[in-house]
Amino acid sequence: EYYPGAFKAKTWVLNTGRGCPFKCTFCINQHSSQKWRFKNPGRLINEIQAIIDKFNPDFIHFQDDLFFSNQERIFKFIEEYYKRGWQFKFFTLTFANYFTDTYINRKMLAWFEGKAVWLGMGVESGSEEIRCQLNKQISNDKVIEVVAAFKDIDVKFGLAFMTGIPIENRQNRFETIKFIDRLSKINKNCSFVLQAWRPYPGGQLYETAK
């Protein structure tokens, strides 16, 4: 799908960090045992270069829960991608509130073309009220802004939603379905996944469900 004309492509999966700086109540990273830690810019660059030197992959899957969690590291990654003449393409996850004038802006989105083949983002619910209770501080307007921004660039974009959340009701579920429908009309290149909420023992929402 991302490599026209080829039946096989070499893909390397790389974890550049563990955990997440956010504490959404539904997520395993909210559990007290989970710590957020990430490789510093220098180590990240050296690791990528070693992978390229040994395997020369067509794609790298940055399998972090949130690859863009540290601005300094992302800016260094972009700088070194240019300087070292890297050719690999990548896919990973991001966060709606990182789309600002000083971080993931129009200039960075334009840079993504030809390099980032897919970016994913969790929205979780079409209800701002439910999202707030999940400690997912993203407004509907912000989600719409991000989805609209991807209309102008050739990068596939995916959004994840959940259902079966213990604190939602029937109306909230329909809000999610209607919001997905609205977003799909704004940008027909977006893909969506609607998955069941997964209870992680010890997490806040797990205790609520009990």
Q: Across the 210 residues of the chain, what is the mean pLDDT of every consecutive 10-residue run? A: 71 93 90 87 97 96 94 96 96 95 94 93 96 94 95 92 95 97 94 94 89
Region at 19 (left for phi over 0; alpha for psi -120 to 50; beta for the rest):
left
The sheet with strand 116-124 has its strands ordered as 11-14, 59-62, 89-94, 116-124, 156-163, 190-196
pLDDT of residue 39: 93
Which amino acid appears at position 32 of this protein?
S
pLDDT of residue 32: 81
pLDDT of residue 6: 63
pLDDT of residue 1: 67
pLDDT of residue 4: 62
Who's near 143: CB < 8 A, 6+ residues apart?
Answer: 96, 123, 159, 179, 183
Give the residue among 85, 91, 75 at the shortest CA–CA distance from 3. 91
Region at 80 (left for phi over 0; alpha for psi -120 to 50; beta for the rest):
alpha
> Which residue carries 């469900």 as its tokens?
209
How far, in Å, CA of 63 to CA of 43, rounded? Answer: 16
Question: How many residues are there in the chain?
Answer: 210
